[in-house]
Structures are given as C-alpha cells and as structure tokens.
Chain A
C-alpha cells in the first residue's frame, strides 16, 4: 500500500510541477492591451492533478511488482492467460453469436439513428481501415511510418484529379487510388528502407510534409490551398440518390470495406509473408540469416499499408466531396499511429476497438474535444510506459506438437 514516504514524494512531485507549469499555466499576458492575467486556480489544478496521478502511477507499479513476486513464488514465469478476449476469439460457441449480434447492430444502426450519427460512424470506420493498414507497417513489420497520411492524401487527390480531368468514376478510381498510393509507397520505400528504424521515421515524416506542401503550393496541379470541390459521391449502377440515401450507401460500403480489410489483413498475418514481417520486427539480422529478403519484405509491407490508405483516401474524397491539403497534416498521421499503439501493435481487434474509442468518444464528449490531441499525445506516452502491448495484445497462432517426441 501507499506509505508515508510515497505521500511525501507525491507532495514534492506536486511542488515540482507547480514550478514547472508556472509561467505557461498561471501567467497569461495580452501583449496588445498590455495586461497580465494571473490564473492562480490553474496552479491548484496542476498541484492536485500531479499529486493524484503520481499516487496512481505508484499504486500501479506496486501492484505490478506484487504480481511478479507472486508469480515467482509459484515458480511460473508467465501464466498463460485465458481471459475473456482470448476465449471470445477462439471458442466458436462464443465467437459466432457475438459476431452475429455485432453485425445486426451495425446493419440496423443507420435506420435507427440520424444522418449525423451515421456520418460520424463512417469516419470511425474509415479510421478502422486506416489503423489496420498502418498496423501492417508499424505493428506487424515494425517500421515506424510517420508520413502515413501522405498515402491517404495521394488516394484522395487521385480521385479528385482523375475525376476532374478524365471524368473517372468512384469505382474505377478506388483500386486505382490504392495502387497509386502503393506505388508511392514503393517509390519512397525503395531508397529509405535500408535505413535504421528511427531514420525511417523521420524520412517518412519529411515525405508526408513534402506531399502536403506540394499540394499546397503547386496551384496548377492541385488548385492549392483552396482544394478541389464538387467530387461526386459513389454511384450505385447510376441510381439517383438523395443525400441521406447516399450517406447510408456509403456507410454500408464502409462496412463492407472494413470486413474485407479484416479478412485480408488476417489472412496476410498468418501467411508466409506475414510470418516474415513478424520475424523482421523481432530481429532483422536473424531474419536475414534465415534467408528472408529484407528489402523485398519491407517494401511489401510498405506498399500494402499504403494501398489501404490510398483506398480510404478515395472514400474520404467521395464522402466529403471536397479535398484540400489541410486535411492531411502530420496530426492525422499521429492520430492513426495512436490508434495502432493504443490497440496493440499487430492486434486486429485491438485496432478496431481503439479506432472506435478514439474517434467516437471526442464526438460525444464535445466539451472535451479541445483536449483531444492532448489526450492522444498523453496516451502514446502512457501506453508505451505502462502497457506497451496495447489494450489487447496479439495472440500469435501457435502450433503444439501432438505426439511426445520419443527418445531412443
């Protein structure tokens, strides 16, 4: 339990944070009217907040240590967990009804709730697909890509521009946009994938910014900061649709897309290339020694991740009927990364839950929507420090030997 020493330490931590946040939290100057506002109440919040957070963190660590102690006593290194999530996934008796209920809820959803809600849900579904796409790159192959939004932008702009210049429709551009994004992925990946992980992160970040800046400044090509408007929504065999209907259509389309993505990603993870990705993430050198072509494997991960981003980009353009460079900032990449990290790298269910939580919560807690990015940033740090495996850790498919090996 918490001792007196911890309380004293928490008090000191609170004092330190009072000092640390003093100029920025307490003082607010107005240089135009030359007035100073002293916001002393903030000081109180900071002190109370840091005091309590320190104690919570401390409790968490004490619990963790106690748990490890117990495990050591029992002589087991790690208990194979059979908690609810895993049972839900492995036992068909539980798995199939859950899936059925979820499917029914998803299908009925747009008929019960307003168009506004459906729109939010479409966005959340888009982020699920983006998260699953980035999950291939970051979670499975272990390549930190901070410019993921660039591929998303490529997809969105390819629909906008191909429609503008050649009059191509949504269904033609959907695979095209994906492929264009994938080829951009290969184009970028080819030179930089030789680099070590952290260099890769910064180059992809730079690449994302380059794409955005080009879109912003090259007026003849992309219409600059004002963007491209009047992009048609997806059609359904030339049927005329009202706004509500087409949003509902888009919703079902997104559901289909999510299911398709889950299917493909799941199959990929257990395939030969998927196993190569996991191996590459764990140890590059050992992986090469096993005869896996490092560059090719990384490039495939990069291109496939970009492919999903490109497709979602096309859908994004169709959904908003308008694209401009402001939608493709670094923060967007950060949000998607946050989804992957929170969900658990490599875990499909985790990514889905994380995307839904991170996208829907700020919508329904409007009062806190200003704090959204603050919370995202904090989440990344807290998850890395306390639970690096994410809310739902991946369970790799394992094989057990049926027969005991006989020793002769």
Chain B
C-alpha cells in the first residue's frame, strides 16, 4: 500500500510538471493552431538559465532562498524572451503559409536551440543545485513523499489558479479567448492580434520555465537534451486532454503522469517512454479530439 501511495505521489509530481509544459502547447495551439515543437526547448533553456544563475549565485555566496527566487525569476524572464523571439523569427512570417511550413520551421527551431545550448554550454549532465530544502516537518512521511514533491504540487496549483484568473478575468485573457475563437473577428473588434499572440508565447514560456526549474531541482541534473522528451510527453498530455483546452491539458497531464508512474512501478522502467507514446497513439486513434476537446468538422 505504501508503495502504491509513493507511486501515486510521484505520478502527481510528474503530472504537475507535464501540466506546466502542456499549458504552453495548448495555449499556443488554441490561438494559432500550431504545434510549437520548440516549446520543449524553451523549457530546457529555462532550466539551463536557472542552473547558470543559481550556480553563479551560490558561488558568490547568496542565501538559499534568495538563490531560489532569483533563479526562478531569471528562468522565467529568459524563457519568455526566447519564446517571444522564436515566435517573431520562425512563426510570424509564416502566419498565412500552408500548414506544413510553420511546423517544419518549428522543428528546425527546436533542433537549432538544442544544438545552440549544446555548443555554447556542454553535452555533459550537469548537477543542478538543490534549491528546495528538506523541510523538517516532512521527516515523518519522507519515505512516501519528498519535500520537493510538495513544493512542486503547491507551486503548480498556485500557477494554475493564477492562470485561470488571468484567462477568465483580465483584459489580455479575454483578448486571448477572443483570438482563439476567431482571429479575424477579434481583429475587427480592435484586438491587436500580434500582441495577443506574443503574450501567449510569453505566458506559455514562463510556465515552462517554472516547470524546468522545478523538475531540474527535483531530479538534480540537467542536460541539453531534456527538452525533447519532456516536450513530446507534454504534448501527449495536451492531446490526451484535448488540445486547445486548458483544463484538458491539466487533466491529461495528471493522467499521463499517473499512468507512467504506475506502469514503471509495476511493469518495467525500461519502457517508460514507450508507455507514453503508446498512450498517445491509442488516444489519437480512438478519440482524436481528446478527453475534453471538441471535435470540429472542417467546413469548406
């Protein structure tokens, strides 16, 4: 039973991280109908920035809490900057091109960013400083759930609430929903669609950066390649919940996280990624619109 609970919490933690990344996919897809392949790389760059900033600060002798806050901020700022730049360079010129073009451009961007980090930094696995301390009050249940799990779960929950508020009640949130529904109509009522798209990329990227920071300090090491697999899995989660739907992305992420945790715990850990991909293929075959997505009929 204890093993089951342990797996359950590890699944939830995974799910939270996937959710933070999947939200970026689903928001971008909702607005411009593009699978942003480079999103996983944005997450990786967030983790790398956090790693660099945190290591520099810890060498300079800052206190742990300050390091955590500054690293988180830096990760969010730089990830957003990358997300914004990628959109401007690789997607904006292709907004009216055939569907395949932005997709190929996105794949190119993903390969480019991966190798950029590889060349500018290193190909080795780097030890990520432990930014989240072990809380004393957690000692009694440390065997089942660690401190970093708790921090990840709470942070994700807070971020979700903030995001829901942003989308539901703020001006930019309304503009985003309007653009997602009908871009031309949104332009007609005076919404600057370019700004909205940029804002979506910035929000999505900073969410991914938070995810990157959390998972890196949870796992304890990073590498230039982490974005690729995490990106595909988060995308799987977004599709599972119905791409374009924000609650769907969260639901899908938790389902994927739990499935993976139980499958690796009870079946075999060698095939961890195979479970995720098989789940993706199965969903697309049986319910292409996802769990909470609406299937749309293409009209001519």
Contact (Cβ within 8 A) B105 A203:
no
Provide the residues of chain A in CB contact with B111, threshold 8 Å: 331, 334, 373-374, 376-377, 380
B63-95, CB under 8 A of A: which get 1 and which 0? 000000000001000100110010001100110
Contact (Cβ within 8 A) A381 B59:
no
Chain A, range 126-144, C-beta contacts under 8 Å to B: 138, 142, 144
Provide the residues of chain B in CB contact with A19, threshold 8 Å: 81
A158-199, CB under 8 A of B: which get 1 and which 0? 000000000000000000000000000000000110110111
Contact (Cβ within 8 A) A384 B119:
no
Number of interface residues, chain A, beta carbon within 8 A: 59
B266-280, CB under 8 A of A: which get 1 and which 0? 000011011001101
Q: How far is the CA of A34 from the CA of B59 in the complex (A)?
A: 6
Contact (Cβ within 8 A) B112 A29:
no
Contact (Cβ within 8 A) B78 A20:
yes
Known pairs A197-B100, A377-B112; A202 contacts B232 (CB<8 A): yes
Q: Is A311 an interface residue (CB 8 A)?
A: no
Known pairs A23-B78, A31-B126, A202-B232; A384 contacts B108 (CB<8 A): yes
Known pairs A31-B55, A206-B281; A374 contacts B232 (CB<8 A): no
Task: Look across to chain A and name the residue whose beta carbon is closest to the beta carbon of B58.
Answer: A34
Q: Is B206 an interface residue (CB 8 A)?
A: no
Contact (Cβ within 8 A) A197 B119:
no
Q: How far is the CA of A42 from the CA of B232 in the complex (A)?
A: 32
Contact (Cβ within 8 A) A385 B93:
yes
Contact (Cβ within 8 A) A29 B55:
yes
Q: Is A201 an interface residue (CB 8 A)?
A: yes
Q: Output the least CB separation between A344 and chain B (Å).
A: 13
Q: How far is the CA of A146 from the CA of B288 in the complex (A)?
A: 19
Query: Which one of B108, B127, B235 lies within 8 Å of A378 (CB-CB)?
Result: B108
Q: How far is the CA of A338 from the CA of B129 in the complex (A)?
A: 38
Q: Is B114 an interface residue (CB 8 A)?
A: yes
Query: Which one of B90, B103, B284 lies within 8 Å of A195 (CB-CB)?
Result: B284
Chain B interface extent, by class: 35 or more
Provide the residues of chain B in CB contact with A198, threshold 8 Å: 34-35, 99, 103
Q: Is B102 an interface residue (CB 8 A)?
A: yes
- Among the stretches B7-15, B44-52, B184-192, the one at the interface with A is B44-52
Query: Which one of B52, B74, B109 lies within 8 Å of A377 (CB-CB)?
Result: B109
Q: Output the least CB separation between A17 and chain B (Å).
A: 8
A1-44, CB under 8 A of B: which get 1 and which 0? 00000000000000010011101110111011011100000100
Contact (Cβ within 8 A) B127 A23:
no
Q: How far is the CA of A42 from the CA of B108 in the complex (A)?
A: 23
Task: Look across to chain B and name the residue whose beta carbon is closest to the beta carbon of A32.
Answer: B127
Contact (Cβ within 8 A) B103 A203:
no
Provide the residues of chain A in CB contact with B56, threshold 8 Å: 27, 29, 36
Contact (Cβ within 8 A) A24 B117:
yes
Q: Is B228 an interface residue (CB 8 A)?
A: yes
Provide the residues of chain B in CB contact with A371, threshold 8 Å: 115, 119
Q: Output the least CB separation between A64 and chain B (Å).
A: 12
Contact (Cβ within 8 A) B104 A203:
no
Contact (Cβ within 8 A) B103 A201:
yes
Q: How far is the CA of A56 from the CA of B117 in the complex (A)?
A: 25
The count of A-to-B residue pairs whose CB atoms sit within 8 angstroms is: 161
Q: How far is the CA of A381 from the CA of B102 in the complex (A)?
A: 8
Known pairs A34-B59, A370-B119; A381 contacts B35 (CB<8 A): no
- Among the stretches A208-216, A230-238, A249-257, A267-275, the one at the interface with B is A208-216
Q: Is B239 an interface residue (CB 8 A)?
A: yes
Q: How far is the CA of A79 from the CA of B138 in the complex (A)?
A: 74
Q: Is A322 an interface residue (CB 8 A)?
A: no
Q: Output the least CB separation between B105 and chain A (Å).
A: 4
Q: Is A246 an interface residue (CB 8 A)?
A: no
Q: Is A109 an interface residue (CB 8 A)?
A: no
Q: Output the least CB separation between A127 and chain B (Å).
A: 17
Q: How far is the CA of A271 from the CA of B95 in the complex (A)?
A: 33
Chain B, range 181-226, C-beta contacts under 8 Å to A: none
Query: Which one of B104, B114, B235, B274 lies within 8 Å of A202 (CB-CB)?
Result: B235
Task: Look across to chain B and name the residue whose beta carbon is closest to the beta carbon of A217.
Answer: B270
Q: Is A341 an interface residue (CB 8 A)?
A: yes
Q: How far is the CA of A331 from the CA of B111 in the complex (A)?
A: 8
Q: Is B161 an interface residue (CB 8 A)?
A: no
Q: How far is the CA of A374 from the CA of B281 in the complex (A)?
A: 30
Q: Is B298 an interface residue (CB 8 A)?
A: yes
Q: How far is the CA of A32 from the CA of B122 in the complex (A)?
A: 14
Known pairs A209-B232, A377-B112; A203 contacts B284 (CB<8 A): yes
Q: How far is the CA of A207 from the CA of B285 in the complex (A)?
A: 13
Contact (Cβ within 8 A) B232 A337:
no
Q: Output the least CB separation between B256 and chain A (Å).
A: 13
Contact (Cβ within 8 A) A28 B121:
yes
> Can you list the 4 inter-chain pairs with the closest CB atoms, starting with the nearest?
A380-B108, A377-B112, A377-B111, A206-B277
Task: Please name 17 further chain A to chain B contacts, defined as beta carbons within 8 Å, in addition to the given A144-B104, A199-B284, A207-B277, sorted by A numbering.
Answer: A25-B120, A142-B100, A195-B288, A202-B232, A205-B232, A206-B232, A206-B281, A210-B277, A210-B278, A334-B107, A373-B114, A373-B115, A377-B111, A380-B111, A381-B105, A384-B102, A385-B105
25 A/B residue pairs, CB under 8 Å, sorted by A: A23-B78, A24-B45, A31-B127, A36-B59, A144-B100, A194-B288, A197-B100, A197-B103, A201-B35, A203-B284, A205-B232, A206-B232, A206-B236, A210-B277, A210-B278, A213-B273, A334-B111, A371-B119, A374-B112, A376-B108, A378-B112, A380-B112, A381-B90, A384-B104, A388-B97
Q: Which B residues are within 8 Å of any A CB, using their own CB?
A: 34-35, 45, 48-49, 51-53, 55-56, 59, 74, 78, 81-82, 85, 89-90, 93-94, 97-105, 107-117, 119-121, 126-127, 129, 228, 232, 235-236, 239, 270-271, 273-274, 277-278, 280-281, 284-285, 288, 298, 300
